[in-house]
Chain A
Amino acid sequence: MASPTAPSEIRVAAQADSSSEAIVFEDVSIAFEENVVLDGVSFRLPRGETKALFGVAGSGKSTILKMALGLQRPDSGRIFALGEEVTRMTEEELFAMRRRVGIVFQESALFDSLNVRDNVAFRLMEEHISAEEIEQRVLESLRFVELEHTIDKFPSQLSGGMRRRVAIARAIITQPEVLLYDSPTGGLDPVTSNTIVELIVKQRDVYKTSALMVTHRLQDAFTMATHQFDKTTNHMVALPKGQHAEVPMSFLLLRDGKVILDGDAKELVSSRDPYIREYIA
């Protein structure tokens, strides 16, 4: 009979096979001028899971998203996205990798000069896909965020919440394997925030997309950890308490450039760390 595998061995094996993870950060550090923002950050995002990143303003949450996509380079450490080492790739190689990863920026970052159709279709137009297919997929994406009627409008004609939803439609049009959300509900009213959270849960539960989500709103992440998307009613529904552990949702808390918590909702609420207690209070 084979001897049971030690936990440390399991950890090493998991490290070696980064392709089984959507995103892996290994001892990543970055400083801007003399300000150290991230100092030896390590975490892994398993495929199909959504990880909410928390931390005070300037703690490097958005920097983590940008580094995962190769938009910024760390000073040291290694980053893997979908099994490929982002930190070793050239800009040309990164363009190909980014086709498999979608991102929703903090202020949506829609192209001002393009209408909603062209914004959502941007990636498909760059790939020279036929006009009929583009139209069909744009409508599909906009239907997902329930904004079909805005197809001919320009970003300046949309509300903040609508812009975020168009940004989500743009990010999901190629059905990426990983989605990165940078404060998707920041600055929005509770009703609109709930709509955005529901869309993120829908993407997680229907398409099983892995995601990293930067947020300041704990309640959004707790909603995501306690709800599941119901395809029959087309709405997210609260799960009974005993089933919360089944939701593929985790939390990561940053403080002074380091990870102070990386675990599920239960670990977060049961933490004895005074800083964490104060943060979630």
Chain B
Amino acid sequence: MALEIELISPFDVAKDSVRAVQEYTLLAARSLANLFRRPLYMGDMLQQADLIGVGSLPIVVLTGVSIGALLALNSASTLQRFGGITLIGQLVSVGMVTELGPLITGLMVAGRNASGMASELGSMIVTEQIDAMRALGTDPTKKLVTPRVAATSFMLFFLTIISDLLGLLGGNLVASLLFGLDSRQYWTSAWQFLVFRDVFMGLVKPFLFGFIISTVGCYYGMSTRGGTQGVGRSTTQAVVASSVLILIVDFFVTKLIFAFFGVR
């Protein structure tokens, strides 16, 4: 039996990609503009904040402590060789606050919530619940997208702060229990080495990552086609796209802040 292969024109692929970027941009812009339009669904925002923020807490706690401990463990062996074990606090604090805290928390929340949003909204699309909502006179971007975007951006900020602190705590445990470093010395060096630029960078990133996670998750959910198979495809694409976008944006934001504030 001959195998039939359907050839796709590169022009069509390019056209679809441009259309997808355009639709994503429109959805993202509308989700922000809705924050200044009535009605504002505060109840839905609080519910999403609970689901995203409180629901993601266990995984953020676990990864925060682990990453901090691993960072301390890996850097300690090198620092010990040069007699600089006391610098471990500085290394963990800068690493966690500027980069690993926001990035790992963002990727964890992306894995958990971008997929959740895409599958929930995708299921609503295939069962005509989104059409029903529009038919009942309610704008789904106001009722479903904006609360998720606001809640994710807001809650990721606090989740990242928790992750940073727990990362420092994990580093402290490794430094004191395995390398015999005094805790007071660890915290003092960790605290004193941080400058405004580090904290600013660490607190700006979660807002951007939260926005990416929620808009990408909602975009893939709202553009689901093709029944339950389509829901599965949207879920996978949402996690992959949001993770890749987080990494790309992270690089450019770091570069931009370095350019603005200067390298240490």
Contacts and interface: CB of A to CB of B under 8 A. Distances in A.
Nearest to A122: B136
Contact of A71 (B39, B123, B134, B139): B134
A110 B139 CA distance: 16
A69 B135 contact: yes
A107 interface: yes
A98 B135 contact: yes
A248 B129 CA distance: 31
A95 B137 contact: yes
B99 interface: no
B138 A95 contact: yes
A126 B137 CA distance: 8
B132 interface: yes
B137 A123 contact: yes
A111 B137 contact: no
A151 to B, nearest CB: 19
B137 A103 contact: no
B127 interface: yes
B182 interface: no
A66 interface: yes
B136 A98 contact: yes
B128 interface: yes
A91 B132 CA distance: 14
Interface in A75-121: 91, 94-96, 98-99, 101, 103, 105-107, 109-112
A110 B134 CA distance: 13
Contacts of A107: 127-128
A99 B131 CA distance: 14
Nearest to B123: A112
Given A105-B131, A109-B129, A109-B131, A123 B139 contact: no
Contacts of B133: 111
Contacts of B138: 95, 122-123, 126
Contacts of A94: 134
A111 B139 contact: no
Interface string B92-110: 0000000000000000000
Contact count band on B: 10 to 19
A127 to B, nearest CB: 8
B148 to A, nearest CB: 14
Contact of B137 (A96, A105, A112): A96
A108 B132 CA distance: 9
A99 B133 CA distance: 11
Contacts of A109: 127-129, 131-132
Contacts of B123: 112
A95 B139 contact: yes
Interface string B132-164: 111111110000000000000000000000000
A96 B139 CA distance: 11
B49 to A, nearest CB: 16
Nearest to B130: A109
A76 B132 CA distance: 24
Contacts of B137: 95-96, 98-99, 123, 126
A66 B131 CA distance: 9
Contacts of A99: 137
A280 to B, nearest CB: 29
Nearest to A65: B135
Contacts of B132: 103, 105, 109-111
Contact of A103 (B39, B127, B135): B135
A181 to B, nearest CB: 13
B129 A71 contact: no
Nearest to B37: A92
Interface in B15-73: 39
A45 B133 CA distance: 25
A107 B131 CA distance: 12
B253 to A, nearest CB: 34
A95 B123 CA distance: 23
Nearest to B47: A113
Contacts of B127: 107, 109, 112
15 contacts: A66-B131, A95-B134, A95-B139, A96-B137, A98-B134, A98-B135, A98-B136, A99-B137, A105-B128, A109-B128, A109-B132, A112-B127, A123-B136, A123-B138, A126-B137
Interface of B: 39, 123, 127-129, 131-139
Shortest Cβ-Cβ A-B pairs, 4 listed: A109-B132, A109-B128, A95-B137, A103-B135
